[in-house]
Chains A and B, each alone.
Chain A
Amino acid sequence: MLISTPTTVADALFELGNENTLAVGGGTSIALMLKNRLIEPDRLVLLNRVPTLSGVDERSTDTDTVRIGATSTLLQLMHSPLVNSALPMLSFASSRVGNPRVRSVATIGGAIVHGDPRQDLPPVLLALGATAHIVGPSGERDVPLSEFFIGFMESAASEDELVTEVTVPRVQGQRTHYTRFTPGSEDDYPTVGVAIAMTLADDRSVKDVKIALGGVDSTAFLATEAAALLIGNRPTDELIAAAGKSAASRANPSDDQRGSEAYKRAMVDVWTRRTITACLSD
């Protein structure tokens, strides 16, 4: 197996154009798959030496968007002054992922490209309305995350493409809350993850809201119907209850060690309601 260590995006793309080649961010998912003989690549392209892929653009004067390099680690997100002030839900979620070792090396790009529906960052980024910037042999494109998670362990970026950046809109007065429900061991994937970003109008009706769920389908997803129930309305107990039910009916969870399908569905209802309420509390 060959190892490539490009220092520019162009070089990285060139290497990725080879047959049976995989890109490596923090490498934890790849290392596990190699150990279990689930993959047998001919080449790995390490991205850790491409400086333009890494880091949060702290000095950006753009007040509308936060730009995050794809190989930024969760630890960097936790410590980024900009992410902490503009996107506290993201820095919070990053700090809850796994353990310090994981956070040292796991990247935001890896988190979305790997496509594991149990992970924390995908629903958080979905709720924040993030976009993935993809570069490949046929050019560049922006893919909103709502179109990025196309299936179980499958993303919109193909094997010869690179996600170079994740951009997240900065929204004035946005209220966010991420709930990671771990009824068993705290050191585990969540049974249900609920990420909500909401803005209220002056009359405290919901101007906009995104409700994203993790761990309860083959991908993280937006509960758009649940959100639609709230938009334009005052979030009464009845409406919140209806949103919870709607999110639960949209969910498609599987039985596993973290819960049965029925239990997870019931928990989607409970935690969607509770997370909405958390967003609303001042």
Chain B
Amino acid sequence: MSRVDAALKASGHSRYVADFAVPNMAHAAVVRSAMAHARIVSIDTRAALNCPGVIAAFTAADVSATPYGRALIDTPLLARDKVRFVGERVAAVVATTRQEAEYAAAMIEVDYEPLDAVFSLSEALADGAPAVHEQPWAYMGAAAKEGDPINLIHRGTHGSKEEVDAALANAAFVVDHHYSTQGVHQGYLEPQACIADYVSDDEVRIWLTTKAPYRVREMVGKCLDIDPKKIELAPITLGGDFGGKGSPQDAPLCTELSRKTGRPVKMTLRYNEDLTATNPRHPAEIDVRIGADKEGRIVAASMVASLNAGAYGAFTPSVPAPHGAVEIPSYRVPLYYSEANRVYTNTVPRGNMRAPGAPQGTFALESAMDELALAIGIEPAELRRRNLLVTGEADASHVHWIEHRGLETLEAALAAVVPIDPPKGWLYGRGIAIYSRPTTSMASTSLRLTPIDDGCLRVETPLVETGTGSHTALRQMLSNQLGFAPQKIEIVGVSTNDLPRDAGAGASRVTAGLAAVVDVAAKAWMNRSRDEAIVVEINEDSGIDVGSYTVQVAQVAIDPSTGQMKLLELLNAVDIAAIINPLAFQMQIDGGATMGVGFATLEDLDEADGQVWAANMGEYKLPSARDVPTYKTVKVPGAIGLGTANVKNIGESTTPPVAAAIANAVFDATKCRIRDLPITAEKIYQALKGQQ
């Protein structure tokens, strides 16, 4: 059986937010700041109000002043008093058609008084740097304290720097290098879109390109002083998320516009708006120091990362160190110091993107591991062998996983590699990189099971199908445990009004979360007294730490005269438990690796002077079918998973190691070490020339 939504999607009958219309609907367009940092002197909406079809125009004075955010609440609906990044929402127009709204928005004149701006991490953290936010400690949920560097959102540290410094000073071998990564965008092909229908404080309905509807209703409710339980997020199909659609996006603004105009309001972003003004991945600067003894065993390590969070921190992950960009989950590190700084700058605010922090951190860590192997004089794989964790050991942050299968996954990868001949005259190189990641043990979701005619089962879920096949996995797991044939199970997405909870897709929790709720559902189904619908929900942490290893081997060919690189093959060895849907599972491996290829070699928001210059897909290059290497997958079965379904995460596993696997392969081929992304032909060319 194919996935539950295959025929709908292939025939064009799946409905995404932009496809919906509601009666009496009006359209909104937004005026965006052309300045990175400026006081708003005045906004003249008169010309816009005279344009055809215009219903109303709004500035900050006309809308709620309450900011919104996830943990840190610092984002205004419309810029108030000053703008903090190019692209920030400054004003909004509502008109009877989208074209009319956009035309009128272009007529609004904003007068700015420029302020000094900070764009880079060093500028933002320098003494006397201009303040992006005058009192960052004053926001609800702020981690910043008065007296901290003015643009520091949060500094998380783990371990003792002094102890690590001392151990490194005495280590037989030490590497100490700086790595940097560029701004990249989630690249979902569906632009952000919203329809908000405010009927009253007791009845609000929203269609939003979100994967976290319950979180959105909380945030919209808090911002607009509406009871979240009266805000209904309608079920939708999502056209890709990759972390970029977890914020409320324009729902607070559209709901406010609907409230003010008395009509439902729809706003669909143009893709250049999405690329330049939503919430892409944090650019990072990472210092890695690793020390090893004479036997090549790590004695101490330090990772210090600064992440450029942009002008607002509301959706920047603020998990404590050492997560994300400064994790060392796979190796034995007796002494570990990590520091993760999230910094305000006058650039586009950053958010989550597939494995937040990990592609940046893994690039740095796994490149540094190869540099350490070189210093010691052993093969990169041998250094890994001597330092990969085995079951029973704690990782660098003292966390115990139920098992570690890095060694067997490494051996499986190496055994499966078949060298490929490069084109004549090209250099050949091979590189490895390792990444591991836990499956979140926290499960929070709900289901309604209703028996219907002909021995069928109707299953309602508030979990948004983001494309990963979660609804299909749910059907399969229910089939396996409740005894219905898959074709007898109907999966229906429902609104937040219809079921009590769901944590939202993402964070490597979906499949395991479904496994947990299916376990509860199976028990409830067995024990039901009458043949009617049952509702089950789960909101608990199993406390079992299950992790997955990915070992990647990249083979590359490089034309020494031009620096051009061909990715010959990318091999993914993945340590697995049960697989619910093999095709969907494989697509997460290949799709995740493709996103890694983009990060490593092609994608670059090209930020300069506070602006994103790669403002459309002609300039921001997502990998095409011709840009991807051959993918080879090696499965290492036998792992312990979660729930009766015995499942582990895969969706965020194959993106993080790609950049280092390629950088290590480039080094193997050329003896040139490239420590900043993306790895372009030009960088390789210049590095080769520099060698001569």
Chain A bound to chain B: yes
Which residues of A approach B to under 8 Å, CB–CB?
A: 37, 181, 183-188, 257, 259-260, 263, 266-267, 270-271
Which chain A residue has the least Cβ–Cβ distance from B681?
A183
Contacting residue for A185 out of B623, B685, B686, CB 8 A: B623
> Is there a chain A Cβ closer than 8 Å to B140's Cβ?
no
Pull 18 A–B residue pairs with CB atoms less than 8 Å apart, ordered by A: A37-B106, A183-B562, A183-B565, A183-B680, A183-B681, A183-B682, A184-B680, A184-B681, A185-B624, A185-B627, A186-B624, A186-B626, A186-B627, A257-B606, A257-B613, A257-B621, A259-B681, A259-B682
Please state if A183 and B564 are interface contacts (CB–CB under 8 Å).
Answer: yes
Q: Given A257-B604, A260-B682, is A181 in contact with B624 using a C-beta cutoff of 8 Å? A: no
Which chain B residue has the least Cβ–Cβ distance from A259?
B682
Cα–Cα distance between A10 and B685 once the two chains are bound (Å) = 54
> Is there a chain A Cβ closer than 8 Å to B115's Cβ?
no
Please state if B682 and A187 are interface contacts (CB–CB under 8 Å).
Answer: no
Cα–Cα distance between A37 and B105 once the two chains are bound (Å) = 12
> Is there a chain A Cβ closer than 8 Å to B444's Cβ?
no
CB contacts (< 8 Å) of B60 on chain A: these are: none
Which chain A residue has the least Cβ–Cβ distance from B103?
A37
Which 6 pairs, one residue from A and one from B, show the smallest C-beta to C-beta distance? A183-B681, A185-B621, A186-B626, A187-B624, A263-B682, A183-B564
> Is there a chain A Cβ closer than 8 Å to B561's Cβ?
yes
Cα–Cα distance between A266 and B559 once the two chains are bound (Å) = 14
Which residues of B approach A to under 8 Å, CB–CB?
A: 106, 561-565, 601-602, 604, 606, 613-614, 619, 621, 623-624, 626-627, 680-682, 685-686
Cα–Cα distance between A271 and B681 once the two chains are bound (Å) = 14
Question: In the complex, how many angstroms separate the beta carbon of A116 from the nearest chain B beta carbon?
Answer: 11
Please state if B562 and A181 are interface contacts (CB–CB under 8 Å).
Answer: yes
A interface, over-half SS: loop
Cα–Cα distance between A266 and B623 once the two chains are bound (Å) = 26
CB contacts (< 8 Å) of A186 on chain B: these are: 624, 626-627
Q: Given A257-B614, A267-B562, A270-B562, is A188 in contact with B621 using a C-beta cutoff of 8 Å? A: yes
Q: Given A37-B106, A184-B680, A185-B621, is A266 in contact with B627 using a C-beta cutoff of 8 Å? A: no
Contacting residue for A263 out of B106, B623, B685, CB 8 A: B685
CB contacts (< 8 Å) of B627 on chain A: these are: 185-187
Cα–Cα distance between A260 and B681 once the two chains are bound (Å) = 11
Question: In the complex, how many angstroms separate the beta carbon of A233 from the nearest chain B beta carbon?
Answer: 24
Q: Given A185-B624, A257-B604, is A266 in contact with B685 using a C-beta cutoff of 8 Å? A: yes
CB contacts (< 8 Å) of B619 on chain A: these are: 257
Which chain A residue has the least Cβ–Cβ distance from B619?
A257
Which chain B residue has the least Cβ–Cβ distance from A266?
B685
CB contacts (< 8 Å) of A181 on chain B: these are: 562, 564
Cα–Cα distance between A267 and B685 once the two chains are bound (Å) = 10
Cα–Cα distance between A184 and B597 once the two chains are bound (Å) = 11
Contacting residue for B601 out of A37, A184, A259, A260, CB 8 A: A184
CB contacts (< 8 Å) of A185 on chain B: these are: 602, 621, 623-624, 626-627
Give 17 A-B pairs besides A37-B106, A185-B624 with Cβ atoms closer than 8 angstroms: A181-B562, A183-B562, A183-B564, A183-B565, A184-B681, A186-B627, A187-B624, A187-B626, A257-B604, A257-B614, A257-B619, A260-B682, A263-B685, A263-B686, A267-B562, A270-B561, A270-B562
CB contacts (< 8 Å) of B626 on chain A: these are: 185-187
